[in-house]
Amino acid sequence: MGTTVRNGESAAETAFRVIADELSRYTIVRLSATPDGVASRRELADYVGTRSTAVETRKRVTARLHHVVLPRLEAAGLIEYDPRSATVRYYPEPVVESLLDHVEVESKESE
């Protein structure tokens, strides 16, 4: 992603948009915590579902990941999503990682 403009957005604009969306943010947090940046859609749904402030069933979270969140993250160049194997691979982006570090610190301080 870098400073490249993709879909009319700079890397910073994309990063802010991703971090602003709760499900996208938790998806990236979970993927960045894995040693190889890979997780199944089910693992992501379990993780995201337990952290989201929205009351949704795992089935709804899984559907939202499949139809909305993962395609959006893939279009931003942050992940590779294979719907057939339900596998997601994360490609770390420094701007996103930096924002996540700040957001995580802020949320820990407010607890």
Q: What is the pLDDT of residues 51-97, one digit of tens each?
A: 876 767 788 889 999 999 999 999 988 999 999 999 999 998 888 88
* pLDDT for position 107: 47
Local structure of residue 81 (DSSP, 8 states): E
Reported pTM:
0.81
Query: Which CATH entry fits the domain spanning 11-109: 1.10.10.10, 3.40.640.10, 1.10.645.10, 3.20.20.70?
Result: 1.10.10.10
Local structure of residue 88 (DSSP, 8 states): E
* pLDDT for position 43: 95
Secondary structure (3-state) at 106: helix
d(CA 29, CA 8): 25
